[in-house]
Amino acid sequence: MKIKGSRIIALAVLIVAILLVVFKLRSNKQQFRDEVAFSQRKVENIPVAVETVKKSILSENVVATGTLEASEVLNMVSETQGKIVKIYKEKGDKVSAGDVIAKVDDEVISANVLTAEANYAQFERDVERLSRLSEENAVTKRDLEQANIGLKKAKADLITAKKALSNTSIKAPIAGYINNDFITVGQLLGGGSPVCEIVNNNRLKLNIRISEKEVYKVKPGQTVAVRLTVFPDKKFTGRITAIAEKADAVLKFNVEITLDNDVNAHLKSGLYAEAELPVTNEEEIIISKTGIVESMESPVVFVASNGKAVKRAIIIGQSNNKQVEVLSGLSDGEQVIISGQLNLKDGDDIKIIQ
């Protein structure tokens, strides 16, 4: 009887365990379905804020930005080879055209010049002597011709040797500042080895980009007001020196502006600058910069249309801190989403809030 009772108890325990397992599996399955449904749920009517597109004038004149560039940047290389024995100009020094920057050991090259001078003098005497003898028919014309050929070769060797000697004094070909140097005393230079970088900031260039509507309103020679963020209370004067004949990938035309460096300000390459062109702006579609969801180089906005967010690429013009001109891609009266658009996808349902 005890054995039979034990079997009944074991069987009951087994049945209970099986029921618990089945219940747990069903519970986990339902939880999994709920999680999948939750993850696949669609958020409807995403709340967004919009602004109505309208035409306006961003500024009275055409304003474009860029960075100042040096009129001349020279990466200087060595025309000779040998050991550097003296450095006269270093990084940060101002140089004039012809200033000696460094000196290379010239002992061997000086000896070559002496040898070339001696050979040239010898051939000069030979030609002079053979010319007198030729007048007396004491030598053949061939001998005189060979002497003249030797004289020409000796002259060429002398010129080459003197040029090599001159190259041992490494001179600045342009005026400016040594922005970087690559040599040290005792260094062995080879032909074509980098010596230094010279930057001439006496004149500066500012390259800006303008739209096709603006490019025909400017011309070379026009004066331009230039402002720099580092000198907010000062205005500099530049001159348009070149206008591109071809637009870039975003339909903008490059305009080069040249300005003389200011003695008091001492402008440097790389400074952020703003140019105000002598052109009166026309009304364009203006939107807030907050509406742009990608870069200013490839701008994209979301337009609210029939309760949905419609993704649209646009072409922009000039801008200020808060607003930007839209040259193509939007129409007057459309609604651009300016808040809540960061997580939007093309075609999402939206709800406009104020």
Count the neighbouring beta carbons within 10 Å of the beta carbon of residue 151: 19
Q: Please state, in angstroms and rounded to a whole number, the distance separating the CA atoms of residues 215 and 253.
A: 7
User: Strands, DSSP E only, in 162-298?
Assistant: 169-171, 176-181, 188-189, 194-210, 223-228, 231-243, 253-260, 272-280, 284-288
* CB-based contacts of 66, cutoff 8 Å, min separation 6: 206, 207, 208, 209, 273, 275
* CB-based contacts of 304, cutoff 8 Å, min separation 6: 48, 50, 310, 335, 336, 337, 350, 352
What secondary structure letter does DSSP report for 137?
Answer: T
- Can you say how many angstroms the Cα of residue 285 is from the centroid of all Cα atoms in its chain? 30
128, 135 Cβ separation under 8 angstroms: no
What pLDDT does 39 receive? 47
H helix or E strand, kind and range, residue 8: helix 2-39
What pLDDT does 85 receive? 95
Q: Please state, in angstroms and rounded to a whole number, the distance separating the CA atoms of residues 253 and 318.
A: 13
**Helix 141-167 crosses helix 107-135 at what angle (to 10 degrees)?**
160
> Is this prediction's pTM over 0.75?
no
Backbone angles phi, psi at 111, to 5 degrees: -65, -40
Q: Is 98 helix (H, G, I), strand (E, B) or coil?
A: coil
Q: Give the chain's domains with CATH numbers.
A: 46-59+283-352 (2.40.420.20), 62-71+201-280 (2.40.30.170), 106-167 (1.10.287.470)
- Tens digit of pLDDT per residue, the chain (354 long)? 445 556 666 666 667 667 666 666 676 666 666 555 544 445 568 888 899 988 887 766 778 899 999 989 999 999 999 999 999 999 999 999 999 999 999 999 999 999 999 999 999 998 888 888 888 787 788 888 898 999 999 999 999 999 999 999 999 999 999 999 999 999 999 889 999 999 999 999 999 998 888 888 889 999 999 999 899 889 999 999 999 999 988 888 999 999 998 877 889 999 999 998 877 677 888 899 888 988 878 899 999 999 889 999 998 887 777 888 888 899 889 999 998 888 888 999 888 886
Given the structure tokens 């100042």, which residue do they identify? 68
Tokens of 130: 């053979």
Q: Please state, in angstroms and rounded to a whole number, the distance separating the CA atoms of residues 254 and 212.
A: 11
What is the DSSP pairing of strand 82-87 with strand 169-171?
unpaired
Order across the sheet with 188-189: list the strands.
169-171, 100-104, 82-87, 188-189
| Contacts by 181-185, CB closer than 8 A, 24 or more apart | 181/90, 181/91, 183/84, 183/87, 183/102, 184/84, 184/87, 185/84, 185/85, 185/86, 185/87
Q: Is 15 helix (H, G, I), strand (E, B) or coil?
A: helix
Q: Please state, in angstroms and rounded to a whole number, the distance separating the CA atoms of residues 310 and 161.
A: 75
